[in-house]
Structure 1
């Protein structure tokens, strides 16, 4: 008789209107098709709170959430035949504690951005924090990333010894968001709905949009339905990121029948055909004007990443169980 395949799923704090909000309930559901049992390591009751603009999660609530997770995880009877999936290896306390002290089971983690990024909340302490993340990656049986760009960025950091982890880091994309999509009447030419941080927002480009006399909207949404409807009402959804290891909004905009324009850098070339990528300000203006008039030319996600999204749970399961 074969062993029961159990997965312990360790989610991130489900901050409101961040992808980890729906990862919290959707990923365990998706993995149930492949594992005999999926056990979620999370507090019994969670108050979902919005994160500040510059953060993925509210700080104090995330720390409290992790403390409850650690307490709950220590009570589990982990076997060597079990699997553990950390939804984010950047957790400051839970991941290293569990890997060091609760060593049974095969452990895997998702690396979303890491502290290599120059413009996010951890920028002032990024060197020290990244060393911690590298240590975590070395202890895991496997590391998942969403793009080839992200893997290359990680293993090119030679002074941290990450290149020796190349065989452990697997590009798996991200799962397709499980929401209803829309085909609303177009109400505005250009929409930016990301965070207003140096990492995501380019003020110079946005001012260029305004000088073109286009009907532009800079806004944030309070629910997933409102957000998806908002994307669908835009002719062009604009990406301006200086750093991006995936770009969920690219996928979400296309799902909701909107053209996406993005920089020709980071992970965007893996998601979008080249005609939707701008190289400089002049190229940006030319393509923006064109797609405002030809907003019916909604792109498809590049085939490789479309396939990764479709088979995400199966691919991750196969990698974990083949180690």
Structure 2
């Protein structure tokens, strides 16, 4: 999966500074299969992976004094098994998106799937999310809202990716590097961008190094998401010395100063043309999220152990 790939080694490494022992429950994947560019992860392999996790977990001797951290509660193969069958230990989970999102892969089954996710969140000792926008969405989203979860959901941001960053020479004006789905890609806006006579590109990359270098070569990295519960690419673009522009919605206002947000096509064009000329004005994340990012492991540890 997009970031859990590195969560499996980076989170245990950092949590080892706080806990006496950290055990990763993950099968030994000998061959990683890449998903299609529009998908978050390969479907069959994700199911098989979690089935192997369940098999591995049942062999563990879990104690009441242990803490269990689910890297993603949305892919719920292992989660119900651990909660309901092996009930020892205090259990926490990260909710990256939830199926409340209207445009992702789970949209056709969002009502039923969110009922499952809400049930899981109720039984966990705590739920972590990346943004206040996401917490508000879980609690207040129309007929699906779960106000009873308010005190259980903790906004902790997300950890800073642990990869080498770049300051490459700028090769093109605008880059879109997300999935070309209705959730992430706006065809009308992209047609407007193409009409501006800029060097605008859509690219997919085969490795983290290629991806980071690709971000760094763009003057402006453009976000066009209709839904975004955190916005890792905002962080990654800034890390790699590129301006990033994003819609004034979702979680983006929590991450970016207002001058890097746009509300409509006219404002996008104005800001895009300005930053193509002034691409040295790379933004900083808003202070609150910089602090969350900096203290992510300490904050999560504190919440888990002080419950």
**TM-score class normalised by the smaller sequence:** over 0.9
Q: Which residue of 2 aligns with 1:277?
A: 261
5 Å-filtered alignment, 1:239-278, equals 239-278=223-262
Q: Which residue of 2 aligns with 1:222?
A: 206
Q: Provide the C-alpha distance between the structure 2 equivalents of 1:269 and 1:287, rounded to a whole number of angstroms.
A: 16
Post-superposition shift, 1:187? 0.5
Q: Which residue of 1 aligns with 2:95?
A: 111
Q: Which residue of 1 aligns with 2:44?
A: 60
Q: Which residue of 1 aligns with 2:60?
A: 76
1:87 and 2:71 matched: yes
Residue in structure 1 matching 2:158, options 174, 187, 200: 174
Tell me: CA distance 1:297–1:62, structure 2 relative to 1, closer, same or farther (3 Å).
same
Q: Which residue of 2 aligns with 1:305?
A: 289
Structure 2 residues without counterparts, runs of 5 or longer? none
CA contact (8 A) 1:157 1:163 kept: no
5 Å-filtered alignment, 1:1-323, equals 15=1, 18-157=2-141, 159-160=143-144, 162-323=146-307
Q: Provide the C-alpha distance between the structure 1 equivalents of 2:263 and 2:71, rounded to a whole number of angstroms.
A: 33
Post-superposition shift, 1:63? 1.1
Q: Provide the C-alpha distance between the structure 2 equivalents of 1:116 and 1:45, rounded to a whole number of angstroms.
A: 30
**3-state secondary structure, aligned to 1:38:** coil
- Matched length: 307
The Cα RMSD (Å) is 1.0
CA contact (8 A) 1:144 1:172 kept: yes
Post-superposition shift, 1:43? 1.0
**3-state secondary structure, aligned to 1:308:** helix
Post-superposition shift, 1:52? 2.3
Post-superposition shift, 1:157? 3.2
CA contact (8 A) 2:137 2:145 kept: no
Deviating 4+ runs (over 3 angstroms): 157-161
Structure 1 residues without counterparts, runs of 5 or longer? 1-14
CA contact (8 A) 2:25 2:53 kept: yes
Q: Provide the C-alpha distance between the structure 1 equivalents of 2:105 and 2:227, rounded to a whole number of angstroms.
A: 13
Post-superposition shift, 1:75? 1.1
Tell me: CA distance 1:61–1:296, structure 2 relative to 1, closer, same or farther (3 Å).
same
Post-superposition shift, 1:285? 0.5
